[in-house]
Chains A and B, each alone.
Chain A
Amino acid sequence: MANILRPHNCSCTRRELLRSGLVGLGVSATLPGFLQQAGAALAAQARSGKQENERILIVVELAGGIDGLSVLVPIENDHYYRSRPTLAIPKSEALRVSDDFGFHPRAPGFERLFKDGKMAVVNGCGYDNSSLSHFSSMEYWHTAVPNGSDSRGWLGRFADDARPDAPKQFIVNVGTKESLAVRSGLHAPITFSDPEKFQREVSSAQRAALVRMTEDVEVANPTLSFLNNIDAVATDSSSLVKDACAEYKTVIDYGGVGALQNDLEHVAALIDSGFPTRIYYASMGGWDTHANQALTLRSYVLYATDALRAFLDDMERIGRADDIAIMVFSEFGRRVNENASGGTDHGTAGPMYILGKQVKGGWYGGFPSLEDLDQNGNLKVTTDFRSVYATMIEEWMGFDGADAVLKGDFPTLGAFA
């Protein structure tokens, strides 16, 4: 399929073709569906006179409940050191970024982003009546409906409201599992982990038969309608993703081992190849540090913060740093007092981070008191996380229907210039 995108008589790359809206190819009924889709969408975009590069939202989930007090250390807070006799990060080791705060010693990536003014730290994020269950709390963050439920995620609803007619590649979820956050009524997110495996292994005769068998139609059986739709998205997108990732070469070091590095590099590849995707979602687990927290965080904090820093460097390298912003969240923070197993138990509020060149770097949200805790010994929430969501939807993506998406009116932070 790659040769369709790179005709023999044309030396242009797929990136150029995608960016040019494929107009020059003469989109016709003989082309596969994905080219028609992408071509039509991009042509419409070109006609409407919008900028070629629209803003892109990247959401990174840190699953398991990251200990905010270890990432962003309140180095002048005696209560912190009293509550964490073995786990507190010593003031001398923290990477100081203000009078009162320093990052974890293995987070030099965050230190640099903050000092460069590319990072907004939003303190005390959470919601009222916090759930201490991973599964409930993550669901609340995914749906943006705390202590309630919704079949669609907040990003899915945003996509439905903002771009009901968007191309098939509008949402990309890099990972093995589609997140509830991107589950949508009108879009089928492209979810993949390994681009090499995102490709049908068939003969050309079988491929031709399978293309004929692709029927994105509604039938009486709702499960089959769902499967028909996913099948069509798969047929339309797999070659595009594989080729984009295979061709992508970067000199930026995304850091050590781990899934987030690979996932973010795939995001960079798709952005670079001109995908019409506006929402990317990636996740990194392993933050549920009930025991041996110090050891776990030494690796995980490094992997995560290095990968994020590298991704932003890479965007700068390919000239797309002005087009992207990253929002980082976790389903909850952890308890203030350390436990008897060298770890911390499930907590409530924690910091969120917004990263990007267009971000107004600095502090947002109030830092919760370490003395005035709730009945479980957890931090009190100072900032509703949906304010951060609203900020991303309205201030960053420029869509003024955040209140409908989020089912409530949440003040934005003023985190973008």
Chain B
Amino acid sequence: MLRLPVFGLGLALIAPAGAAGPQFFERGAGPSSWVGDLAPITAADWSYARAGHLLERAGFGGAPAEIEHLTAMTPAEAVRYLVHYEKIDASDLPAFQETGIYPDGVEPYMLGVREALPEARRSGEALGVKVAASGPMRLQPVAERSYFLLWADQLEMVRYAHWWASRMVVTPRPLEERMTLFWHDHFATSNQKLRYYKRMVRQNETSRRLATSGFRDLLVAMSQDPAMVWWLDNRLNVKEHPNENFAREIMELFALGVGNYTEEDIREAARAFTGWTSEHLSFVDRKENHDAAEKTIFGHRGNFDGYDVIDLILGQEAAARFIAGKLYRYFSREELTPELHSALARVLRDNDYELKPFLTTLFLSRDFYSPASFATQVKSPVVLAVSSFRKLGLDAIPGTPDFRSFCQIQGQELFFPPNVAGWSGGRTWINPATLIGRANYLGQALFPERVSPPGGGGGGAAMSTMAEISSGKSTRFNESEEYNSPQASRAGRRRASRTVRLDRQAAVFDLSSLLRSAEVQTGEEAVDYLAGRFLRVPLSAQRRGAMLDFVATELGEATIDYQAESTEETLRSLLHLIISVPEYQLS
């Protein structure tokens, strides 16, 4: 279904500037004198191409009507519109529909077979399943239920990731989702370890709620987030046995960066965070596990707790530099001079770590539109997929081809980041195989009938651990005659894939109508319109020439016959070529 690609407001479509679409590439990158300049651009500097750049970075790009909507504003209005998105009604966005795999009263720490079986032996019941007091294979139902929940949880996580990416495609508040994605990368937490999707969902909701709030709020919320508490083991961080994992990462990866703390600071901060844990989906501060004695952190002495550590961290000069630099690199570009870095850190500190003023400065700055920033980023796999479907006018991520497999192969599976440092990003996304894989995935979305139906289950990061458990090689749960582990795993997996249904719907769209309504009449206009709609920079003469020849051969004549049966396929083949050129990776 084609969605009218507008921002949810009543919006008059602006008349296109040319015969086939706006002046896509006119006044793109600003002058090189803008590099490093945080002064805001003015209404006189504004253009369709620059509005497109803004939407690409602060969101996921969009169809021409969305960009024209921003072009019609002043730059300050456009940035305000994107940054202060609370004013835009998003209540129509579909909510996630849970399958409901967990029986009531199941405690998440009981979910593993290693936990459930002893419990069943002891009490005669686990995971809502009663077992017989004796007899062969008496624990088999509990083992099956346990494996079912392990498999079903991962599948439900996959469904939620699909829901989230679809929300990115359709949201009228693109920056909200873009920042939520940023925080998922920043506070990178993986369901590979958690195996309890509800905690990941809860973290995702928290990130969205606080996406552009203050950095302190985010640090507190994430320090108390149940998923984080499990992910970095703070639930094990107690007075008698301090665990440094969380204290180390909040300094190294979340707030300060290497070189801005000592090992002693980490040990002391770990003591301050003792007792911060979770119960089911809620934060709990267990005073009896808290080490209330004096600590010394960054040279300050006191009976610090977690809140104090966060305030001490944010009092460090390095904290503002760290997060300002990371946001800049995420939204603008890799290279950051010390002067610009200091200026950005000052903006953040002057605003008490509030993010909206900082983002406003960033998105309005001349530097953001300078040649060093303009169309010089590589799209991440998720951004590539989302922006492609947004530009195509879809209202969700298609169910076919398989979005999860694409993300796994490309190395950016939502809710399964590779480690606590998040995704490396930038140019590291691109190698010969991922470049080919990107074009293949989008080609399959354009020609879903060519995709063979997925086999059961699938492989990759989400499933690999359990694949090991379920493979015949692993006999470690199989030493008792009370149950058979491989058999339980197979049965649990079968039931999980029957219970948790993944969306397999291919996208329905009509490229012919899209081009016809843009008044595209010739093959040449089709090349230029689609290149303008989907690319951030114009095609090289050689590439444009190859596409013109391709479309001329396929169409047979200069004027497009929209009645002809083969036209839709030809246009899709042309679009497949456009999304296959190296330029398409640029954001």
Contact = CB atoms under 8 A, between A and B. Distances in A.
Interface of A: 131-136, 173, 176-178, 188-194, 197-203, 205-206, 209-210, 212-213, 215, 219-224, 226-228, 230-231, 233-234, 237-238, 256-259, 285, 290-291, 295, 298-299, 339-341, 345, 375-376
Contacts of A206: 550, 573, 576-577, 580
Interface string B342-371: 000000000000000000000000000001
B378 A290 contact: no
Interface in B520-560: 537, 540, 542-543, 545-547, 549-550, 553-554
Interface in B232-251: 233, 236, 241, 243-245, 248
Given A176-B409, A210-B577, A201 B421 contact: no
B581 interface: yes
Contact of B258 (A133, A173, A177, A193): A133
A202 B443 contact: yes
Interface in B439-479: 439-440, 443-444, 450, 464, 467-468, 471, 473-474, 476
A199 B378 CA distance: 21
A204 B235 CA distance: 57
B409 to A, nearest CB: 6
B586 interface: yes
Given A134-B421, A176-B410, A221-B537, 19 more contacts: A176-B409, A176-B433, A188-B431, A189-B431, A191-B431, A200-B580, A201-B440, A212-B545, A213-B581, A215-B542, A220-B371, A227-B582, A234-B432, A256-B473, A257-B471, A285-B418, A299-B474, A341-B243, A345-B244
Interface string B404-433: 000001110000001101001001101111
B381 to A, nearest CB: 11
A99 B248 CA distance: 39
Contacts of B547: 209, 213
Nearest to A192: B433
Given A224-B537, A227-B586, A340-B241, A177 B424 contact: yes
A224 B583 contact: yes
B376 interface: yes
Given A194-B409, A206-B576, A256-B471, A234 B433 contact: yes
B377 interface: yes
Contacts of B418: 177, 285
A227 B577 contact: no
Contacts of B474: 299
B546 A209 contact: yes
Contacts of A339: 241, 243
A198 B436 contact: yes
A49 to B, nearest CB: 32
Interface of B: 233, 236, 241, 243-245, 248, 252-253, 258, 263, 371, 375-378, 409-411, 418-419, 421, 424, 427-428, 430-437, 439-440, 443-444, 450, 464, 467-468, 471, 473-474, 476, 537, 540, 542-543, 545-547, 549-550, 553-554, 573, 576-577, 580-583, 585-586
B576 A188 contact: no
Nearest to A199: B436
B436 A177 contact: no
Given A135-B421, A223-B586, A299-B474, A213 B543 contact: yes
A215 B550 contact: no
Nearest to A189: B431
B452 to A, nearest CB: 11
A315 to B, nearest CB: 24
Dominant secondary structure of chain B at its interface with chain A: helix
Contacts of B444: 201
B349 to A, nearest CB: 26
A132 B576 CA distance: 46
Contacts of B443: 201-202
Contact of B542 (A212, A222, A230): A212
3 smallest beta-carbon distances between A and B, as pairs: A191-B431, A234-B432, A227-B582
Contact of B248 (A133, A191, A203, A224): A133
Given A192-B432, A234-B435, A203 B573 contact: yes
B435 A290 contact: no
B471 A198 contact: no
B409 A193 contact: yes
Given A201-B450, A340-B241, A376-B263, A227 B433 contact: no
A276 B436 CA distance: 22
B34 to A, nearest CB: 15
A234 B576 CA distance: 17
Nearest to A188: B432
A286 to B, nearest CB: 9
Contacts of A376: 263
13 contacts: A133-B252, A133-B258, A135-B419, A176-B409, A190-B432, A197-B433, A200-B580, A215-B540, A256-B471, A257-B464, A285-B418, A345-B244, A376-B263
Contacts of A194: 409, 433
A198 B537 contact: no
B375 A210 contact: no
Most-contacted residue by chain A among B233, B371, B582, B583 (CB, 10 A): B582
Contacts of A341: 233, 236, 243
Given A134-B419, A205-B550, A206-B577, A238 B582 contact: no
Given A209-B549, A209-B577, A221-B375, A193 B433 contact: yes
